[in-house]
Amino acid sequence: MAVSYPYSLPAFADLLKISSVVWDIQRNDELSGSGDGRVWQAELAPPLWTGTVTLADMYNAEAKQIAARIRKLHGAQEALFLYDPLSKYPQADPDGTKLGAASVSIAALGADNASLSLKGLPSGYRLTVGDKMQIGYGGRYAFLEVSETVAANGAGTTPVFGVFPHLPAGFSAGLGVVLLLPACKCIIMPGSHNPGTASGMITTEATFKIVQKK
């Protein structure tokens, strides 16, 4: 069977034994300022999610397999899906059982292009600041962060709440929303992959960095 891209979660992310991660944002802004402390900021392009991943010590065979999968991405030519290891599930539903198989979608978009409401949730379901969500649109994928804590009403619909970053063009009500294992479509940053150092039967200090690919 031929390798398919982008790598699905079972094909890559689920195989990783992560010991530490830095999950952050790369802003693409132009800044200028004055001597009195005033700063002007122009967003030249939407911000991108980034991740610096360090893998736990592992047997050499495991490390070889992870390194081989990364090489097969041909540098930055091919993409993969990766979740934030700290945000695999909503904070109020740490194993995903409360949401279960519910089909969640966008109920409405806020007028500010930085907020939305969801429907299809269990009654009273809670989303907490810092939770993540994945939304596919037109063959692309948004990876959004919840900016306000909200709860669904009896009909399973939340009030409009803020998200980060701004919503991309092409968003509309009815798009499906992934809240369990929400993943960011990304690439390995060129030159960032260190396959680790082998000593005896163990490989240590394997690392790589990712950046969001829209």
Q: What is the rounded average pLDDT of the residues 134-138?
A: 96
pTM confidence score: 0.91
- 33 pLDDT higher than 70: no
More confident residue, 89 or 36: 89
Which pair of structure tokens corresponds to residue 50? 């980034």
Q: Are 80 and 143 in contact, with CB atoms under 8 Å apart? A: no
Q: What is the rounded average pLDDT of the residues 116-138?
A: 98
> What are the sequence ranges of the domains in the chain?
1-31+38-83+183-214, 88-182
- 134 pLDDT higher than 90: yes
Q: CA–CA distance from 112 to each of 116, 147, 161, 166, 168 (Å)?
A: 9, 14, 11, 9, 12
Please state which CATH class domain 1-31+38-83+183-214 belongs to.
Answer: alpha beta
- 205 pLDDT higher than 90: yes
The mean predicted confidence, pLDDT, of the chain is: 94
Q: What is the rounded average pLDDT of the residues 167-193?
A: 96
Question: Can 1-31+38-83+183-214 and 88-182 be said to share one CATH topology?
Answer: no
pLDDT digits (tens, 9 = 90+) for 40-56: 666 667 899 999 999 99
Residue 31 pLDDT grade (very low, low, confident, very high; cuts 50, 70, 90)? low
Share of the chain above pLDDT 90, in %: 88
Separation CA 67–CA 49 (nearest Å): 22
- Count the helix, strand and coil residues of the chain and give each as a percent rounded to the nearest 5: 5, 45, 50
Is 88-182 in CATH node 2.40.10?
Answer: yes
Q: What is the rounded average pLDDT of the residues 73-87?
A: 96
